[in-house]
Structure 1
Amino acid sequence: MPGGEMTLRVANVRDEGELELVRDVLDELGAEYEYLGSEPEDSFPQTAYFELSSGLADDAEELLARLAADHGFDAEILD
């Protein structure tokens, strides 16, 4: 992605509280991110998309592991 950014896709987000939980994990890792939106926008479960700074590249595996193992999300970094 331009500017060294990457996109995080998180599926199986079941409610607004879980969306906030994803943000909390990103905050705990010190990630610079922007919420890009969710599909579908008005119902759950959703797939949420976040743009991450390249500075998180070293912590990407930890991020994915925490989201999957600890919280049951289907998460991946998109090219």
Structure 2
Amino acid sequence: MSKNSNSDYVTSIKESASIICSEIGPEIVDSVFKRYGAHDVDDLDPADLPDVFPEDQYREYDRWRTALRKRMQYRGECFCPRSKW
């Protein structure tokens, strides 16, 4: 496994935070940052960067999001074209 640099972690955290904000809401991201005593990515302690939005947590969220989307499509609640997904 390769060692990630702090800039890689910061980029990943920013991307994850953006996705979670748009899909669920900013209060989730705020609560995660608050857990680490920060207001945003720049306030995080470099030692905490790998733990803020770990990849397995994102995968779990993505599974939930995919299941929700499929359930909405099945019920006819999602009106986006299937080719988009």
Please indicate the TM-score interval, normalised by the length of the shorter structure: 0.3 to 0.5
* Higher RCO structure, 1 or 2 (CA under 8 Å, sep 6+): 1
The structure number with the bigger radius of gyration is 2
Q: TM-score, normalised by structure 2?
A: 0.39
Q: TM-score, normalised by structure 1?
A: 0.41
Higher helix proportion (structure 1 or 2): 2
